[in-house]
Amino acid sequence: MELEYIEKSSNSITSVILGTGSTSLKVGGEDALPFLYREGKNVSLPIIAHEVFDSAPSDWAKSLKDEFKSVINKPIEWALYCKNELNAKLICLRLSSAHPDFGNNSADKLAKLCRDIYAKVNLPMVIIGCGDDKKDNQVLPECSKALKGKNCYFGNTTIDNYKTIAASCIADGNGVIAHSPIDINIAKQLNILINEVGLPLDKVIINPTVGALGYGLEYAYSIMERARLAALMGDKMLALPFICFIAQESWRAKESKASEKDNPDWGKELERGIYWEAVTANSFLHAGADILVMRHPKAVEIVSKAIKELTNKGIK
């Protein structure tokens, strides 16, 4: 008796290239569920993006802040640190200082920052706005212009706010991060809408919204599983890579931040935060994540190891 059950996919995930030249990266392209390399020809390697903020984050856990102490106020150095010390292949730049209430930095200033970081670091970049629709629509087009032809990815675009950002990405040869609120329908609708204004699907990466371990992780996990299954069964509008913002969720959990003194039975504080980030990241690897946006170097190291083992084709 041949004890094997092979699922053949009728479709594969669209390959998306980030960046240009020798540092460019390919994500997507999978034609099987995550890491089942025996039934798929292309099981691509998930990538970890290192998160860099344009201004010092105010709400970070101490253990996290300590890791970036020397660069936390200097986004360019921060990005260089990620590249040189942490071996980053992809930078996720967060433009939180654009927010009208928290810095209100101008589009020009931030566009210059994007240009400078790219010039110094020369890595593919994902650039995320401040979340204020109006301001993002001013800032992101300027940043896209500043990175014209660099094949960077801009977000978040949402179903209520995609037209302006998508249009400037079309003009500048960049791509978008399509953000939906843990909802497979809205994820797909947004891809359709973005595609219909003229951006090709291989310039779109899905941000499905994830929950941290213990905080709704399973919703996002199942939404991603469903989307990936539908994609492999032929749904082209869902067959796009996923980017998951792991750290911003996991480090908000009280289990990541609570001190050992307050919770003596929860174990070591520093490791707890790291493992919380790593387990959250691991879970989404198995749901089909292509890009994991992470923070703690130690968590990055653990998850890199998991990716390496999961993509090791073994003996057979």
Partner 1 sequence: MALSGLDIYKLLPKTNCKKCGFATCLAFAMQLAKKASSVENCPFISQEAKDKIISASLAPIKSISLESRCGELILGGEKVLFRHEEKFFNPCAIGIIFEDSLSEAKLIEKISDVKRLSFERVGEILTVDVVALKYSGIDAGKYIDSFKAIINNCDFVVALICDDTDVIKKVVEIANGRDLIIYCFGKEFDIEKFSHFASNKNLSFVLVAEDLDSLNILTLKCEQLKFKNLLIDTGEKNLSDKLWDLTQIRRLSLKKHIRSLGYPVSCIIEQTSPEAIINKASCYILKYASMILVKSDAPEVIFPLLTLRQNIYSDPQKPLQVEPKSYAVGQVDKDSPVLVTTNFSLSYFTVLSEVEASRVPSYIVSVDTEGMSVLTAWAAEKLTPESITKALEKDNIKDKVDHKKLVIPGYVSVMSGDLQEKSGWQVTVGPKEASGIPSFLKKYK
Partner 2 sequence: MDKVTVKFLPDKKEIRVSPGVTLLSAALDCGIFLNSHCAGNGTCGGCKVNIKNGHVKSPSGHDFIEHGKKLKTVLACQAIVDSDVEVVILSESRMHKLDKAIIPKNNKQSFNVENLLLKRENDFQFDQLPLVEKLYIELSKPDINNNTADTDRLLSELKRIKNVDFIDIDISEVKIISSLLRSCQWKVTVSLYKKDNYLKVINLEPFDKRNENYGIVFDIGTTTVNASLVDFNAYQVITTKSNYNKQVLLGEDIITRIVFCEKNAGLKQMNLYLLETMNELINSLLGELKLKLTSISCLLCVGNPTMMHLFFKVDPVYIRKQPYTSVANVFPVVKANQTDLGVSPFTIVCSLPGVSSYVGSDTTSGIFYSQLYKQENPCLFIDIGTNGEIALGNKDWLVCAAASAGPAFEGSGLSNGMRAAEGAVEDVIIDDDLNVKIKTIGNSSAVGICGTGYISLINQMLKKGIIDRSGSFKNTEKIVKRNENKYFVVVKANKTKNKKDIIITSCDIDNIKRSKAAIYSACCVLLKEMQLKFDQIDKVFIAGGFGTALDIDSAVNIGLLPNLENKQFIFLGNAALKGANMASFSETARKEIDSIALKLTYFDLSSNSLYMQEYMSALFFPHTELSRFSSRG
Task: Give the binding site for partner 2 (CB under 8 A).
Answer: 159-160, 163, 183-185, 188-189, 192-193, 196, 237
How far apart are the C-alpha atoms of 54 and 72, rounded to whole Å? 9
Q: Does 258 bind partner 1 (CB under 8 A)?
A: no
159 binds, among partner 1, partner 2, none (CB under 5 to 8 A by kind): partner 2
Q: Which of residues 38-97 bind partner 1 (CB under 8 A)?
A: 38, 59
Among 244, 279, 289, 291, binds partner 1 (CB under 8 A): 279
Collect contacts of 167-172 with beta carbons under 8 A, ≥24 apart.
167/141, 167/197, 167/198, 168/140, 168/141, 168/144, 169/144, 169/199, 169/203, 170/197, 170/198, 170/199, 171/144, 172/144, 172/145, 172/147, 172/148
Pattern of binders to partner 1 over 107-146, x per CB under 8 A? ------------------------x---------------
DSSP state of 202: G
CB of 189 to partner 2, least distance (A): 5
Whether residue 18 contacts residue 77, with contact meaning beta carbons closer than 8 Å, is answered with: no
Residue 17, H or E segment: strand 16-18
Interacting residues with partner 1 (CB under 8 A): 1, 3-5, 7, 35-38, 59, 101-102, 131, 181-182, 211, 213-219, 221-222, 225-226, 229, 252, 255, 265-268, 271-272, 275-276, 278-279, 282-283, 286, 301-303, 305-306, 309-316
